[in-house]
Structure 1
């Protein structure tokens, strides 16, 4: 694998750490700015909403920009935004600093997926994409406890400085070691990309993707607050528990990848059922310290595979220019789900208490499970009935 692929994975780690790093410091921000927990949660949900809305447009605007230049620009914006966040005098400035990089977040995601695939070549493309995806996965399980630990050790400002430093390293490495990546005009042609949007099954898959992420983040987005109020843990204990959650998640992401390579549909359904079970156990036994340590370990093992599950459910059977286009849309649907989940979670917390947030997650995950059977058909008449497709037309084959 070319070193630039690993550099893109580091960039993904920095970007996702910036997005989710606030989860562990929400309680500190509540005290610092004298705001409610659901207002603090807007730092996550509004970031995600901006990504969801702006994604398709920013990707179109950057479609003809050299891929290396585009990724360097994104990382530079993330460095600046984190530094502004670190010195924000009030919540309004902090919110503005958070929204700024969200506009370009989906550009890095779509560009890195395509660039990694092309640099590795057809044979090693799946491996290259998995490496970049690993940056996202590791960030979701390590970035949150790391920023939480730094915030507890120094201050909440220090967590943003750390995120800025990670993005700065990725920016420098990408600028120095990565080759120029000119745009492939064939892939960038809208006519070759938009054909896939006529697939009804694809839109069902996007819906499942949104619901899965909403279910995951309705509770996970407020996990630090849950551990503080329900499990009665201190700030240090919370950072350790998030680290346990993340450490288990690294192993879980690896195991999920292996199982998904064997059977995407079955693995996805088992994943959803197990995640439902863990949330119910957390509701029932979350008040006990030792029981919550065990629950978090298993929960983390399962939770982290959610991004991989949602990603593969959507792109399964898609190839060529259509795959590039769908990859560019995924961040919007991922973040639409995160936005929906955190908003619903905050709504329930304010009205019924943090303990009841579990009951937002459970029905959402069960709904995603039910919808997964709709996409489980072997045939897709819209595509398969075409007798002689044009050379550039791609097929969508659902498992």
Structure 2
């Protein structure tokens, strides 16, 4: 939601878009740093109880955001929210992995990752619309209301017995051994690069659509909705990919993404062509989640059972490292040249991600 309302926040706080882009960067960075720390300590608590506490902290942080009246208040509120968000997603993925039959696991995990896309479909345009007609504060008040509803539903629905499977796998000294595995290392670098590639252009998606693609503001919410739908399509395609070939098929997808990022910068001023390219990018960007999540959980289950909680959080941790890197790059590129050239930087990150996938697949063949 923060991406859709950045221009309105900038106007209220009399700040530049590039400086507010650092709020996206900091959120993602804190998210990435705090998630493995909190997740590694999670074995001290029952998962469902920890989930409820973290959601309540998230609620407090988001409500603080809604009430923020200056840059630094907004900044610190986003830090509080970021500290909890990653571990919440990690625990939910564990629940999904625990509930799903093995033949339905990839499909269910792809739906969990589709939550990000559904947030884009509903959250970004809805938040933008609320911000346009009322204020950006109201957008975050809506999130607080939805968080309360979500918490009540989770209290009634989440399983209470997922902790039974980790009674004998709490060797604290070995929890991070998973990261040193070459297969995991190159895979998480891939996740970083893909998300960095996305956020080099997506950080400024609203001004790109209105100022550079030359669409009117009356079209903005519908176009953002379209990009969100593309992400959902990408997530569901990603579930099929996870079942049919997983990591082996991803290099082809992200080679296409690399080319599309270059073409987006070349044709950014050709309204509908540029939008079609952005639509394709939103589909590409969402296709990796189920394959990498199944891969991380399989490696952990087979070779690092003490690291299962950590494995469940790797996607969200390193996605946010990538978001931080991408939004920082976007701010730098926008400051030095313009937001129209951010796609070129994204293509470099995407290409590095493809190389990492090739290395991982060679490792799997050995």
- If the length of structure 2 is used for normalisation, what is the TM-score? 0.89
Q: Which residue is 1:92 aligned to?
A: 72
What is the 5 A alignment of 1:1-399?
A: 21-120=1-100, 125-181=105-161, 183=163, 184-190=166-172, 193-308=175-290, 310-311=292-293, 314-315=296-297, 317-319=299-301, 321=305, 322-378=307-363
Moved more, 69-78 or 315-324: 315-324
- Give the gaps of 5 or more residues in structure 1: 1-20, 380-397
Aligned residue pair count: 361
1:340: Cα distance to partner? 0.7
**Per-residue displacement from partner, 1:282-338 (whole Å, max 9, x unpaired)?**
222221333334333333332332444554565564425244332234322121111
Question: Structure 1 CA distance, aligned partners of 2:295 and 2:206?
Answer: 29
Question: Structure 1 CA distance, aligned partners of 2:361 and 2:275?
Answer: 36
1:362: Cα distance to partner? 0.8
Moved more, 194-203 or 46-55: 194-203
Classify 1:310/1:362 alpha carbon distance in 2 versus 1 (closer, same or farther; 3 Å).
farther
Moved more, 122-131 or 252-261: 122-131
Classify 1:311/1:226 alpha carbon distance in 2 versus 1 (closer, same or farther; 3 Å).
farther
**1:275 and 1:299 in contact (8 A); partners too:** yes
Classify 1:282/1:61 alpha carbon distance in 2 versus 1 (closer, same or farther; 3 Å).
same
Question: Structure 2 CA distance, aligned partners of 1:146 and 1:310?
Answer: 30
Q: Please give the secondary structure, in 2, of the residue aligned with 1:305.
A: coil
Classify 1:113/1:156 alpha carbon distance in 2 versus 1 (closer, same or farther; 3 Å).
same
Q: Please give the secondary structure, in 1, of the residue aligned with 2:228.
A: helix
1:188: Cα distance to partner? 3.4
Classify 1:358/1:310 alpha carbon distance in 2 versus 1 (closer, same or farther; 3 Å).
farther
- Give the gaps of 5 or more residues in structure 2: none
Classify 1:95/1:194 alpha carbon distance in 2 versus 1 (closer, same or farther; 3 Å).
closer
**1:82 and 1:160 in contact (8 A); partners too:** yes
Question: Structure 2 CA distance, aligned partners of 1:263 and 1:126?
Answer: 11
Q: Flag the structure with more relative contact order, 1 or 2, with Cα contacts below 8 A and sequence separation at least 6.
A: 2
**1:145 and 1:246 in contact (8 A); partners too:** no
Classify 1:244/1:371 alpha carbon distance in 2 versus 1 (closer, same or farther; 3 Å).
same
Classify 1:118/1:256 alpha carbon distance in 2 versus 1 (closer, same or farther; 3 Å).
closer
1:125: Cα distance to partner? 4.6
Question: Structure 1 CA distance, aligned partners of 2:98 and 2:181?
Answer: 26
1:159: Cα distance to partner? 1.2
**2:183 and 2:363 in contact (8 A); partners too:** no
Moved more, 107-116 or 332-341: 107-116
Question: Structure 1 CA distance, aligned partners of 2:257 and 2:85?
Answer: 28
Classify 1:273/1:244 alpha carbon distance in 2 versus 1 (closer, same or farther; 3 Å).
same
